[in-house]
Chain A
């Protein structure tokens, strides 16, 4: 019965602590640790929180269904990221208008109120990010928001590390003038 007990479906592994567990437990653990961050990533990819929540929830459901193959939180998280980037991409494709980041420039803000200005700058940058080619946008968000390594980004996007490097530097170069001109602190 040894091997049967070690790997029976629905059981906790007897080898480790509880890092690996049932699909249900994996969902709970990964939800706690990563749900908010993944929704935010997806929201910045698709420009809409409601869609992002759908995307991330569906990715969790798919991960749950694939747990027997994954059986490891690290692999499951990589799977989630991949699924979320792919699903965000299709969500974006199916939508004509991105409400949160309109293509028309926002009107000038007459008030000098700090937060209004800060929000406008942020919107401008987000617009610029959305105007970038898709791969550059995804690379920048995974690198500078999700804090992934080049190898992790390559794995998530299914491209080489060299391609990640070039997407990142091109994307950054495209944003440079905007980002340095909006610099508010030295």
Chain B
């Protein structure tokens, strides 16, 4: 016997409200499901952003990529100071002064990072000499084809804030942490210069070492370079490559530009010979990425596994392994299914100390096999 009215007692106002609310929720969810947003929303937003008049921020970025020159560096740094004051954030005023003073180094030493006395007199904030950059690598596994994966690396911050140069230099100099990834750019290749033309095309000049590489991997390596640039400067969508100052229309014996790819780029107007257009992510990124934990990370007994995926209906399968044995298996839904890039995550709890491998993949619709695998080793301390 209960002295409370039953949950579905029609006389109970609160219960009737609950029922109405529940029904409304269902109906709205169903109505929403019948509404299908178009797939090109992001492209439209980018187009609209681009169509807007350039802001000071764009100016700063334009100078950041192009400018090793003194004048441009000075303008960029002054722009930064102005924005800081406007945003009224927690910036240390002394540091802002230091930034301003670094804008006018002596002409004889333009490349050397200027000494900033104010920074040393502000012990509260330890000066960051490096910052994180994203680098794309090529998967060694042909699973079933070679695709791009992304890792985070730490790179020295240049006083000129040359994000694109930093990203390309980092890519050329940093081996991947994950042993399944590689880069086919020849050892010793260095960046000579990088500029932006027309707002969206990066012109990258690499040293002569870049001229010899495996022909089969040329197309994906060009996309690797371009996506590494895009990660640093998202407005970029195409790349013109130079080797030792000479514009090239083929790389490692493989023609570059639209001719190099089986599928034509979305807008044929931009396909000048030798211009590498960014292929859509679903074509060149690994279909499943594990973005957390990083390879060989040390984590607590409860660890959140995060990633991205372009898979059918967003379904990502996973396995947790230890000492070669299978411990747990499951699947998780990315928030968007193919052809969109969805985000997914789940948490593993109560892991005993030890070494683990997490594998995430798409189960083949054809035969149930493991495809588009990514895996990370990690240690629970």
| Cβ contact within 8 Å between A68 and B32 | no
8 Å CB contact of A10 from B57, B119, B122, B159: B57
Closest chain B residue, CB of each to CB of A63: B45
A142–chain B nearest beta-carbon distance, Å: 11
8 Å CB contact of A4 from B45, B64, B81: B81
In the assembled complex, the Cα of A141 lies from the Cα of B31 at a distance in Å of 11
Near B by CB (< 8 A), chain A positions 40-94 give: 40, 43-44, 49, 52-53, 56-58, 60-61, 64-65, 68-69, 71
| Cβ contact within 8 Å between B44 and A57 | yes
| Cβ contact within 8 Å between A145 and B41 | no
| Cβ contact within 8 Å between A11 and B163 | yes
Interface string of A7-44 (1 = CB under 8 A from B): 11111101000100011110110011101110110011
| Cβ contact within 8 Å between B37 and A4 | no
| Cβ contact within 8 Å between B37 and A39 | yes
Any A CB within 8 A of the CB of B98? yes
Given contacts A4-B77, A122-B27, are A44 and B60 in contact (CB under 8 A)? no
Near A by CB (< 8 A), chain B positions 77-128 give: 77, 79-81, 83-84, 86-87, 89-92, 95-96, 98-99, 102, 116, 119, 122, 125-128
Contacts of B57 in A (CB 8 A): 9-10, 23, 68
Given contacts A3-B96, A58-B48, are A32 and B28 in contact (CB under 8 A)? no
Contacts of B32 in A (CB 8 A): 37, 40, 44, 145
| Cβ contact within 8 Å between A40 and B35 | yes
Given contacts A10-B163, A61-B45, are A5 and B25 in contact (CB under 8 A)? no
| Cβ contact within 8 Å between A11 and B161 | yes
Any A CB within 8 A of the CB of B247? no
Number of interface residues of A (CB under 8 A): 61
Any A CB within 8 A of the CB of B342? yes
Most-contacted residue by chain A among B16, B23, B131 (CB, 10 A): B23
Closest chain A residue, CB of each to CB of B17: A172
Any A CB within 8 A of the CB of B177? no
In the assembled complex, the Cα of A155 lies from the Cα of B362 at a distance in Å of 41
Interface string of B153-165 (1 = CB under 8 A from A): 0000101010100
Contacts of A64 in B (CB 8 A): 45, 49
Given contacts A3-B84, A44-B31, A65-B52, are A140 and B89 in contact (CB under 8 A)? no
8 Å CB contact of A144 from B28, B80, B336: B28
A31–chain B nearest beta-carbon distance, Å: 5
| Cβ contact within 8 Å between A35 and B25 | no
Near B by CB (< 8 A), chain A positions 92-125 give: 118, 121-122, 125
In the assembled complex, the Cα of A22 lies from the Cα of B234 at a distance in Å of 9
| Cβ contact within 8 Å between B87 and A44 | no
Closest chain B residue, CB of each to CB of A29: B343
Closest chain A residue, CB of each to CB of B95: A3
B320–chain A nearest beta-carbon distance, Å: 23
| Cβ contact within 8 Å between A32 and B52 | no
Contacts of B90 in A (CB 8 A): 3
| Cβ contact within 8 Å between A12 and B131 | yes
Given contacts A49-B35, A145-B28, A179-B23, are A35 and B41 in contact (CB under 8 A)? yes
Closest chain A residue, CB of each to CB of B41: A35
| Cβ contact within 8 Å between B21 and A172 | yes
In the assembled complex, the Cα of A29 lies from the Cα of B92 at a distance in Å of 30
In the assembled complex, the Cα of A140 lies from the Cα of B159 at a distance in Å of 51
Contacts of B83 in A (CB 8 A): 8-9, 68
A binding-site residues for B, Cβ under 8 Å: 1-12, 14, 18, 22-25, 27-28, 31-33, 35-37, 39-40, 43-44, 49, 52-53, 56-58, 60-61, 64-65, 68-69, 71, 118, 121-122, 125-126, 140-141, 144-145, 169, 172, 175-176, 179-180, 182-183, 186
20 further A-B contacts with Cβ under 8 Å, apart from A7-B84, A32-B343, are: A1-B99, A1-B119, A2-B95, A2-B126, A3-B92, A3-B99, A4-B81, A4-B96, A9-B83, A10-B61, A25-B234, A28-B42, A44-B31, A57-B48, A65-B52, A125-B24, A140-B24, A144-B21, A144-B28, A180-B20
